[in-house]
Amino acid sequence: MDATPIPDAIRTFVDATNAGDTDAFVATFAPDARLDDWGRVFTGHDGIRGWNRTDNIGVRSHFELLDIRAASEADAYLVTLRVTGDGYNGTGPMTFVLRDGLIADLRIA
């Protein structure tokens, strides 16, 4: 893994998913956060909670962080995760943009 330190919000995103802790998971996002999952867009805590129910903790996802690198924009990170569970299974990139220590934007592509 790259030497880039793992920001607390990203570490909690992974840990809360693996623990099945929905409240901790949603709390890693800014109140006006945006999550884009291959063109399906979810906004705010209610939208994130809905995505979590159908695509993440609700399908017992488990994340293994394989790599993290600073992205080209400020406070952005390209994270490679291995995902297993009863939904999507595979390895793929996620781009996180942080603001004030929380996830402001998450792009899964």
pLDDT digits (tens, 9 = 90+) for 31-78: 999 999 999 999 999 999 999 999 999 999 999 999 999 998 889 999
Is there a domain that residue 3 lies in? no
The whole-angstrom separation of Cα 65 and Cα 26 is 19
For residue 87, being part of any structural domain is answered with yes
For residue 47, what is the enclosing H or E element? helix 44-55
Q: Classify residue 93: in a domain, yes or no.
A: yes
Q: Beta partners for 70? A: 77
**Domain total of the chain:** 1
In sequence order, what are the residues at sequence separation of 6 or more whose Cβ sits closer than 8 angstroms to the Cβ of residue 24? 12, 15, 16
Averaged pLDDT for residues 99-104? 98
What's the CATH code of the domain at 65? 3.10.450.50
What pLDDT is recorded for position 1?
53
* Residue 56 to residue 22: CA distance in whole angstroms: 9
Residue 78 lies in a domain: yes
In a domain, 60, yes or no: yes
Task: Give a yes or no: residue 2 inside a domain.
Answer: no
pLDDT above 90: residue 22: yes
pTM to 2 decimal places: 0.94
Full residue range of the structural domain in which residue 76 is found:
8-108
